[in-house]
């Protein structure tokens, strides 16, 4: 080697010996980069130490030699993790920065290197002061570099890494948003074939994956996986960064498996982890992350396949990872928490007590290492709670149960963690506490209070709906059932009201009147109102994106998300300030029973609760809340009843024989139903006889059975409790069904198997309400500008013709003065949206569609396309009073999320209409004009009006008008499938 020969010819104190030392060191370092032979790196460091000592300041090469020595010391640290190398490099950076002759360029380089090394030390020592200083120094460097400076990309990259680390320690979402922005800028500054492009691809992907864990936005995970794959294409073996990308891709694939359940994702994740581990042999400082991630993937596979080998290997790899993260390593607590989880799992398999005790110990040690503000305390506390609960189940020691519930509570109150993680902990707390611990209602309350944070107002509408859909169904119903078991009926009502229809409650908060606040605190009122308007408008924004979008568009969407997240924080901060004012302590808080009771001023409100632990009614009257148990009816039987009913309505509103497959399915379900009375047994036998005869009465037989079952098990007990009698002019009653009850026609329950029928309509006039609060507030008074909009769509592309809709219009024209009528024949989305703000009554005669995959896309089908739920939500309708939806499926909610009541009828109710006539399933076209004729004759009848207005109809009679219209239709001896679907919502 020429440099070694030159060095031999230049002994101390030769004037050029320093140059030879530096040259030989550079050559050895280059060889190390090619061969990964540590002997070359060690010798290079020794040579540079000698060169620095032989060339003291103020020699012009002194600073260059120090920089070179620092660089190779950091390289050795990156390979071995030896902290003395890192500390030595950092001392030299400090030394150079103290040189008063350092120019801006050199200062920027030194600041950048120092900040980078501070961040490395954070990973080893968990010194948060190092992290704060690293971020501050990197911001300082960035300020010295113009936008297109060639050195800006590594600075952006490192600043993003530091911000991500701080986010992982504090949970401050602004850090994560800012990190993603800097990663995107770094990637833009590193176009192919830039050597550092793979680093930026992988780092951006990692930040997006973290963001997915916070918000569950699927596009973040999809983009992360795509970016990881792009990075790997640029890092063929033995590229030094390939192991990092493999490790990260494995994590993302495991996350995707948890979302989709596709086994190939999990298998690929394990394969990537194994390859990454092979590329990180000792003394590489990063095998701990590969070991940790491989252990997590194997644990996941064990939970799917039950292969004990996977579980044992997961425990072994977690132990090895923990050994490589000695205190005070930043990730030691994570390894302890992971090890606790797999040991708990093995205890559940083998019942080895030492595994359980060790799991508890590791969880406790993890918590001791995590400061109070650490987001990881949520997961560690939840793991500890789970293990303590298991030990209580084994030993019966109440102390363990109490400690477990305390740990669950600690997890829920860890505000640094994401709302979704805290919500998961709250649900686990409720699950374990229910019927076992006095904290059960506190647990349910905590979970319900987190629902609005899951669906925060800064999200767009679809994201809010998806956030609520993630595991919230049934929560409020189970909470109410828990309260009912302890005879806390008022609390049960409050929990149901707070925990259901969260999507609508959130939206309505932005439209709450602030007139009273304006007098008390005009500045706060102005800020709250302006923020509310901005959030409502922002909720309608288009956030759809895919992998083909330009970086500029993606950055714009992410910038908007950050903006609206800050607006959401501003809204919450302003709200808290409002609540500090006298008289506003409960402003926009969930309503208490004393307020909700006013909904029963015009008649009782009956909540029908369906929980896995029991079904019951809660009757709200001015006197309080009455409990009506349904001992003969379980949740499973209610869901079967829904399936049986669907067998009758699957014919699309036609009177027809059931298909053989459908008939056998329905018959099997009916045979599984319990015996609750002789009457219901008679109805069952009657249906079975009609099946054997193959008569067209089969659908009617199903209806008689279902409606009879509902009467005997649900409705008659309620009527009996209220002490109601048959009446020529029945009083009003509102049903508030929950869970699967939302799909059952409670308003039609009765015994119809003999000529002398008995049904709910003999006793009350039924209406429905999605929430109690929907019945509160003033009903708008019609003024001289009363308008009724009628939208007729007899022909719709791709749908069957509805010729009777034109007859429906003619019937309406006989009751409504021409000057008050706005006729859209056919109707377009544009014309409807233009006329809605001035409309008091809106009548739609058209096709409707319930989108089960995305309820916000449910729509009325008009001539130029669908009028969607999401579009109606964004419309202000100040004069709204009544909507009549003479269309199919307008009150058919989401089967997977019934308590959110996201259907067309509810949309119009929450958009401002006080009452809505809707349908539970497809209706016969011929029946539309008949119902409309009797209905409008009644509400436009001045003689029977309850109002003193000279202009407009009496919409408070809407439920009664529909009641009489349906009775008239029934008098024609039509089938159940034709008259039962019509319902009234609201007031």
Predicted pLDDT at 783: 57
pTM score of the predicted model: 0.86
Predicted pLDDT at 1: 63
Predicted pLDDT at 653: 46
Instruction: Tell me the mean pLDDT in the region 16-31.
Output: 85
pLDDT band at 359 (very low <50, low <70, confident <90, very high): very high
pLDDT in tens, 65-97: 888 888 898 888 888 878 888 888 888 767 766
Compare 95 and 256 and report the one with higher pLDDT: 256
Residue 692 has pLDDT above 80, yes or no: no
pLDDT band at 840 (very low <50, low <70, confident <90, very high): very high
Instruction: Tell me the mean pLDDT in the region 353-381.
Output: 96
Q: Which residues contact 906 (CB under 8 A, 6 or more apart)?
A: 501, 504, 770, 891, 893, 916, 985
Residue 381 has pLDDT above 80, yes or no: yes
Residue 193 has pLDDT above 80, yes or no: yes
CB 889 within 8 A of CB 729: no
pLDDT band at 656 (very low <50, low <70, confident <90, very high): low
The architecture in CATH of the region 194-281+290-302 reads: Alpha Horseshoe (1.25)
Instruction: Establish whether domains 102-189 and 194-281+290-302 are of one fold.
Output: yes
Cα 223 to Cα 192, 229, 270, 379, 457: the distances in Å are 18, 10, 20, 26, 25
Both tokens of 172, joined, read: 């401050």
Residue 951 has pLDDT above 70, yes or no: no
- DSSP strand E in 777-931: where? 788-792, 821-824, 841-845, 847-849, 859-862, 865-868, 882-886, 915-919
Query: Measured between alpha carbons, how far is 430 from 440 in angstroms, rounded to an integer?
Result: 6
Query: Measured between alpha carbons, how far is 591 from 63 in angstroms, rounded to an integer?
Result: 70
CA angle 812, 813, 816 (to 5 degrees): 85
Cα 764 to Cα 461, 723, 727, 779, 851: the distances in Å are 37, 12, 8, 22, 33
pLDDT band at 209 (very low <50, low <70, confident <90, very high): very high
Q: Average pLDDT, whole number, for the chain? A: 89
Instruction: Tell me the mean pLDDT in the region 367-392.
Output: 96
How is the chain split into domains, by residue range? 1-81, 102-189, 194-281+290-302, 303-514+534-539, 515-533+540-587, 598-768, 782-986
pLDDT in tens, 602-643: 999 999 999 999 999 999 999 999 999 999 899 999 999 999
Q: Please list the residues that pair with 768 across neighbouring strands.
A: 735, 985
pLDDT band at 19 (very low <50, low <70, confident <90, very high): confident
Protein fold of 303-514+534-539: 1.25.40
Instruction: Give the single-character DSSP code of 785.
Output: T
Query: Measured between alpha carbons, how far is 765 from 879 in angstroms, rounded to an integer?
Result: 26
CB 574 within 8 A of CB 703: no
Instruction: Tell me the mean pLDDT in the region 304-311.
Output: 93
3-class DSSP state of 224: helix
The architecture in CATH of the region 102-189 reads: Alpha Horseshoe (1.25)
Predicted pLDDT at 99: 65
CATH code of the region 782-986: 3.40.50.1460
CB 874 within 8 A of CB 911: no
Instruction: Look at the block and give the residue holding tokens 């032989």.
Output: 54
pLDDT band at 390 (very low <50, low <70, confident <90, very high): very high
Query: Measured between alpha carbons, how far is 716 from 677 in angstroms, rounded to an integer?
Result: 13
Residues across the chain: 987
pLDDT in tens, 124-167: 766 778 888 889 888 988 888 888 888 899 999 999 999 998 99
238 upstream amide cis, omega within 30 of 0: yes
Compare 828 and 471 and report the one with higher pLDDT: 828
Q: Which of 606, 892, 903, 918 is nearest to 735 (CA)?
A: 606
Instruction: Tell me the mean pLDDT in the region 181-201.
Output: 93
Residue 100 has pLDDT above 90, yes or no: no
Q: Which of 97, 98, 114 is nearest to 106 (CA)?
A: 97
Count Cβ neighbours within 10 Å for each residue of 416-434 and write b for 16 or more, e otherwise.
Answer: bbbbbbbbbbbbbbbbbbb
Lowest mean pLDDT among 571-585, 705-719, 862-876, 918-932: 862-876
Pairing of strands 847-849, 788-792: unpaired
Instruction: Give the single-character DSSP code of 887.
Output: S
Query: Measured between alpha carbons, how far is 444 from 416 in angstroms, rounded to an integer?
Result: 21
């Amino acid at each position: 080697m020429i440099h070694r020969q030159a060095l031999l010819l230049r002994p101390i104190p030769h004037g050029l010996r320093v140059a030879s030392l530096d040259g030989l060191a550079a050559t050895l370092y280059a060889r190390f980069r090619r061969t990964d032979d540590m002997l070359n790196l060690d010798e290079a460091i020794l040579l540079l130490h000698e060169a620095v000592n032989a060339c003291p300041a103020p020699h012009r090469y002194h600073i260059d030699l120090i920089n070179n020595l620092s660089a190779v010391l950091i390289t050795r640290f990156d390979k071995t993790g030896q902290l003395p190398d890192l500390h030595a490099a950092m001392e030299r950076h400090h030394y150079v920065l103290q040189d008063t002759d350092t120019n801006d360029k050199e200062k920027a380089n030194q600041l950048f290197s120092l900040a980078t090394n501070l961040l490395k030390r954070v990973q080893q020592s968990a010194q948060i002061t190092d992290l704060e200083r690293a971020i501050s120094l990197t911001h300082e460097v960035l300020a010295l570099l113009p936008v297109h400076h060639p050195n800006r990309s590594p600075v952006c990259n490192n600043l993003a890494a530091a911000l991500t680390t701080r986010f992982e320690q504090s949970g401050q979402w602004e850090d994560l948003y800012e990190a993603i922005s800097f990663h995107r800028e770094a990637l833009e500054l590193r176009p192919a074939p830039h050597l550092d492009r793979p680093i930026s691809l992988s780092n951006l992907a990692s930040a997006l994956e973290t963001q997915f864990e916070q918000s569950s936005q699927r596009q973040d995970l999809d983009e992360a996986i795509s970016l990881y794959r792009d990075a790997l294409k640029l890092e063929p073996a033995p590229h030094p960064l390939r192991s990092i990308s493999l490790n990260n891709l494995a994590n993302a694939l495991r996350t995707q498996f948890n979302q989709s359940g596709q086994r190939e994702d999990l298998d690929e994740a394990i394969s990537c982890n194994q390859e990454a581990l092979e590329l990180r042999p000792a003394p590489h400082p990063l095998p701990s992350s590969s070991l940790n991630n491989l252990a997590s993937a194997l644990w996941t596979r064990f939970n799917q396949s039950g292969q004990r080998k996977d579980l044992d290997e997961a425990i072994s790899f977690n132990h090895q990872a923990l050994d490589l993260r000695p205190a005070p390593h930043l990730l030691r607590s994570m390894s302890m928490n992971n090890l606790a989880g797999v040991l708990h799992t093995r205890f559940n398999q083998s019942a080895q007590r030492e595994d359980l005790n060790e799991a508890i110990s590791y969880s406790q040690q993890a918590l001791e290492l995590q400061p109070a503000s650490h987001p990881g305390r949520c997961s560690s506390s939840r793991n500890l709670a789970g293990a303590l609960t298991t030990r209580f189940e084994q030993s019966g020691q109440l102390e363990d149960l109490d400690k477990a519930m305390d740990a669950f509570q600690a997890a829920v109150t860890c505000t640094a963690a994401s709302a979704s993680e805290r919500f998961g902990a709250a649900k686990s707390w409720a699950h374990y506490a229910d019927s076992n611990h006095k904290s059960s209602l506190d647990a349910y309350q905590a979970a319900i209070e987190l629902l609005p944070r899951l669906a925060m107002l800064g999200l767009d509408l679809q994201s809010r709906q998806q956030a609520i859909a993630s595991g919230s169904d049934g929560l409020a119903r189970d909470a109410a059932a828990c309260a009912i078991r302890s005879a806390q009926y008022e609390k049960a009502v409050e929990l149901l009201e707070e925990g259901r229809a969260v999507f609508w409650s959130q939206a309505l908060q932005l439209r709450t009147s602030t007139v009273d606040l304006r007098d008390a605190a005009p500045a706060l009122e102005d800020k709250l109102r302006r923020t509310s308007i901005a959030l409502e408008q922002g909720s309608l924004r288009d956030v759809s994106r895919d992998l083909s979008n330009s970086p500029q568009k993606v950055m714009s969407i992410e910038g908007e998300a950050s903006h609206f997240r800050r607006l959401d924080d501003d809204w919450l901060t302003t709200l808290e300030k409002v609540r500090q004012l006298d008289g506003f302590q409960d402003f926009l808080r969930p309503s208490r029973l004393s307020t909700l009771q006013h909904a029963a001023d015009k008649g009782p409100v009956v909540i029908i609760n369906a929980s896995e632990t029991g079904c019951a009614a809660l009757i709200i009257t001015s006197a309080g809340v009455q409990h009506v148990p349904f001992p003969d009816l379980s949740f499973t039987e209610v869901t079967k009843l829904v399936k049986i009913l669907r067998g009758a309505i699957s014919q699309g509103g036609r009177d027809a024989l059931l298909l053989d497959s459908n008939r056998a399915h329905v018959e099997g379900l009916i045979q599984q139903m319990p015996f609750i009375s002789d009457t219901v047994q008679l109805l069952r036998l009657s249906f079975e006889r009609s099946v054997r005869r193959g008569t067209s009465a089969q659908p009617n037989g199903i209806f008689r059975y279902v409606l009879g079952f509902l009467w005997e098990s649900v409705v008659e007990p309620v009527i009996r409790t209220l002490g109601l009698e048959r009446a020529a002019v029945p009083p009003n009653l509102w049903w508030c069904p929950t869970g699967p009850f939302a799909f059952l026609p409670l308003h039609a329950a009765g015994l119809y198997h003999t000529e002398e029928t008995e049904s709910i309509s003999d006793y009350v006039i039924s209406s429905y309400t999605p929430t109690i609060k929907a019945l509160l507030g003033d009903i708008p008074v019609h003024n001289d500008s009363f308008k009724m909009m009628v939208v007729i769509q007899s022909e719709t592309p791709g749908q069957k013709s509805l010729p009777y809709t034109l007859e429906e219009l003619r019937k309406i024209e006989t009751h409504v003065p021409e000057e008050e009528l706005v006729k859209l024949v056919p109707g377009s989305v544009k014309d409807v949206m233009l006329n809605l703000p001035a409309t008091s009554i809106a009548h739609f005669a058209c096709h409707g569609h319930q989108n089960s995959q995305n309820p916000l896309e449910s729509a009325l089908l008009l001539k130029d396309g669908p009028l969607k739920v999401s579009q109606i939500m964004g419309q202000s309708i100040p004069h709204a009073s009544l909507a009549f939806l003479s269309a199919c499926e307008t009150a058919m909610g989401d089967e997977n999320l019934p308590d959110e009541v996201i259907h067309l009828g509810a949309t119009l109710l929450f958009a401002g209409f006080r009452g809505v006539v809707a349908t539970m399933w497809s209706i016969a076209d011929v029946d539309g004009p008949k119902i409309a004729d009797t209905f409008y004759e009644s509400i436009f009848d001045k003689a029977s009006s309850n109002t003193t207005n000279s202009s407009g109809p009496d919409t408070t009679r809407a439920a009664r008008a529909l009641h009489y219209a349906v009775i008239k239709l029934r008098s024609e001896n039509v089938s159940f499938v034709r008259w039962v679907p019509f319902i009234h919502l609201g007031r």
